[in-house]
């Protein structure tokens, strides 16, 4: 029987969408059909200002010519190369270029296809490294409440978003969590890093007493928790975590899937916060959102710890069919070229203060109960709806109305998140703020 793939072309039924209320979406699909620069366009060619960089990933703007050209040229040359035991020049070039831009301690990078995979790779490397050092009892991994580390079993185990964990069973053994750092009472409307909460890092020391340092492999934190609504770290918090890790031989992993690759005007926000972890994960902005890719960066001593034993042995039994895919590697190089040539990260530094001012100008807007910002990331917390079964309703309605009025934001729980492509200017900020203010008056 010949298949006919044409007959159901206009149905939205068959696709089971990720992290989406299927029935609500399918009643009134919100579609975008093309994009350029700071804008998406819908079926009617109406422009929609992208205040979310897609999903925190299109950092150099849509339809970026250098990224596009790099991918096209690579596709003409080499569509795929096996990633195990064969190489292709583009992936080595991408790795070298990335490492050249990373903070000094990071000398090697392992590629995967997503933030979730970059995180699981980091957790596996941490466990294997402790064992290689002769500290094989260190099996415990510590995450944090409200953290998002993707959706794989490792990531949801150390992650701290209850709904992402609730129905999936016991998850990984040997996991514990730090408390989250959101403190509305003391820190509401703080600009940048809040003043209060450094002592929350001391919870790590309490977990060390509880589990014993000899059992703890690593702690993983997002420098700024993104997906839970943008929670910048309290002043001194990350440094304190680093100090406790050093004191007890615990590896520190920073999950920079959102904060890395430009949101703080440099390759890694570790530089911005002046705290160097042992392992860094990235994804999203690496390829400007064009081709999926994840990256796990490690310090030299971690890589070298694996480089022992007979040469014919595989040192790390881990990898993906599409690790370092030629198109993704080309996209990395194109993205780096765009960042360099167009001085995109200079724009981040230039616009960081105006971004902060614009976001905080929304203080006093109806139903806005908190505004948080750091780098080019902001979370605007909206009052809970009195319906206990739908507390995020005001926020969701605001986000939908904003889309109707031509601004795309991300919303998570009661938070509107703003993270535009890093090529934005004051006029984009003005439009975002004006429309949020107008919409909140109607909700």
Of 242 and 284, the one with the shorter C-beta distance to ligand PLP is: 284
257 touching ligand PLP, by CB under 6 A = yes
Q: How far is the CB of 435 from ligand PLP (least distance, A)?
A: 24
Cβ at position 59, least distance to ligand PLP in Å = 13
Should residue 148 be labelled a site residue for ligand PLP when binding is judged by CB under 6 A? yes
Q: Quick count: other Cβ atoms within 10 Å of Cβ 250?
A: 26
Task: Rank residues 150 and 334 by Cβ distance to ligand PLP and give the closer one.
Answer: 150
Using CB under 6 A as the binding rule, whether residue 119 contacts ligand PLP is answered as yes
**Considering only 1-9, 129-137, 144-152, 434-442, which stretch makes contact with ligand PLP by CB under 6 A?**
144-152
Q: Starting from the edge strand earliest in sequence, which strands make up the sheet with 377-382, in order?
A: 368-374, 377-382, 415-418, 410-412
Question: Is there binding between residue 116 and ligand PLP (CB under 6 A)?
Answer: yes
Cα R_g (the chain), whole angstroms = 22
The C-alpha atoms of residue 227 and residue 411 are separated, in whole angstroms, by 9
Chain centre distance of CA 412 = 14
Q: Quick one: which segment of 64-72, 219-227, 337-345, 403-411 binds ligand PLP (CB under 6 A)?
A: 219-227
List beta partners, residue 132.
Answer: none
Binding segment (CB under 6 A) for ligand PLP, from list 251-259, 271-279, 338-346, 430-438: 251-259
Other CB atoms within 10 Å distance of the CB of residue 93? 15
Q: How many CB atoms lie within 10 A of CB 73?
A: 13
For ligand PLP, the closer of residues 255 and 337 by Cβ is 255
Residues 396-415 contacting ligand PLP, CB under 6 A: none
Q: How far apart are CA 24 and CA 16, in angstroms?
A: 13
Q: Which residues does 303 contact at the CB level (< 8 Å), separation at least 6? A: 107, 108
Phi, psi of 228 (to 5 degrees): -85, 0
- Cβ of residue 192: shortest distance to ligand PLP, in angstroms? 19
Nearest distance from residue 436's CB to ligand PLP, in Å? 22
DSSP string, 307-344: S-S-TTS-SS----TTTT-HHHHHHHHHHHHHHHHTTH
If we measure between CA atoms, which residue out of 15, 18, 29, 19 comes closest to residue 413?
19
Q: Between residue 221 and residue 250, which ones bind ligand PLP under the rule CB under 6 A?
A: 222, 226-227
Nearer to ligand PLP, 114 or 140 (CB): 114
Nearer to ligand PLP, 193 or 368 (CB): 193
Which residue ranges make up the site for ligand PLP (CB under 6 A)? Answer: 114-116, 119, 148-150, 222, 226-227, 255, 257-258, 283
């Amino acid at each position: 029987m010949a298949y006919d793939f044409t007959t159901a072309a206009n149905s939205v039924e068959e696709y089971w969408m990720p992290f989406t209320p299927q029935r609500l979406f399918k009643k009134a699909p919100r579609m975008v059909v093309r994009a350029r620069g700071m804008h998406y366009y819908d079926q009617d060619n109406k422009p929609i200002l992208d205040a979310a960089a897609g999903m925190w990933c299109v950092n150099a703007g849509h339809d970026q010519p250098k990224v596009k050209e790099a991918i096209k040229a690579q596709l003409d040359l080499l569509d795929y190369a096996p990633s195990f035991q064969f190489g292709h020049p583009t992936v080595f070039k991408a790795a070298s270029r990335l490492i050249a831009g990373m903070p000094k301690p990071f000398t090697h990078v392992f590629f995967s296809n997503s933030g979730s995979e970059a995180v699981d790779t980091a957790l596996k490397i941490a466990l294997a490294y402790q064992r290689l050092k002769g500290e094989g009892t260190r099996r415990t991994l510590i995450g944090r409440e409200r953290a998002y580390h993707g959706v794989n079993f490792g990531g949801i185990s150390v992650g701290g978003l209850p709904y992402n964990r609730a129905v999936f069973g016991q998850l990984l053994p040997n996991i514990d969590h730090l408390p989250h750092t959101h403190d509305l009472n003391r820190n509401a409307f703080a600009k940048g890093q809040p003043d209060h909460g450094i002592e929350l890092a001391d919870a790590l020391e309490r977990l060390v007493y509880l589990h014993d340092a000899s059992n703890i492999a690593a702690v993983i934190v997002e420098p700024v928790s993104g997906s839970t609504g943008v929670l910048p770290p309290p002043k001194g918090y990350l440094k304190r975590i680093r100090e406790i890790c050093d004191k007890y031989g615990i590896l520190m992993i920073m999950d920079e899937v959102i904060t890395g690759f430009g949101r703080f005007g440099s390759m890694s926000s570790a530089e911005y916060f002046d705290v160097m972890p042992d392992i860094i994960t990235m994804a999203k902005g690496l390829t400007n959102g064009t081709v999926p890719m994840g990256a796990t960066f490690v310090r030299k001593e971690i890589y070298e710890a694996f480089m022992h034993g007979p040469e014919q042995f595989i040192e790390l039994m881990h990898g993906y069919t599409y690790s370092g895919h030629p198109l993704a590697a080309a996209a990395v190089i194109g993205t780096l070229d765009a960042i360099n040539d167009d001085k995109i990260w200079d724009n981040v530094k230039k616009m960081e203060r105006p971004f902060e001012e614009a976001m905080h100008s929304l203080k006093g807007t109806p139903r806005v109960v908190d505004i948080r910002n750091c780098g080019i990331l902001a979370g605007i917390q909206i009052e809970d709806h009195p319906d206990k079964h739908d507390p995020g309703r005001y926020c969701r309605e605001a986000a939908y109305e904003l889309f109707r009025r031509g601004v795309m934001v991300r919303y998570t729980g009661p938070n509107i998140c703003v993270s535009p492509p890093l090529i934005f200017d004051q006029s984009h900020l003005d439009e975002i703020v004006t429309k949020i203010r107008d919409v909140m008056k109607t909700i």
